[in-house]
Amino acid sequence: MTSTDTLHRVSMAEVRARLGEPEAMIEAKIGDHVDRHARRFIAHSPFLTPPPTPRAAPTAHPAATTPAS
């Protein structure tokens, strides 16, 4: 048995029922675009691919090792 055997999708309604509604500060952060600050953060973040097998190590994507301008 693996950890993925116990995973299942939950609806947003179930998430809200378990955790409640988000605070106003969190709601204010929800946007419909990626601003320049978030874009820069993403550009400087490593991109890892999951290993093909449980024993293999994750690999970094070559483009992620060079920050975007």
Over the stretch 38-64, which tens digit does the pLDDT of each residue have?
Answer: 899 988 988 777 767 767 665 665 555
pTM metric for this prediction: 0.36
Give the pLDDT score at 21.
92
Question: What DSSP line would sit under 12-62, residue for residue?
Answer: HHHHHHHH-PPPHHHHHH--SS--HHHHHHHHTS--EEPPSSTTSPPEE-G
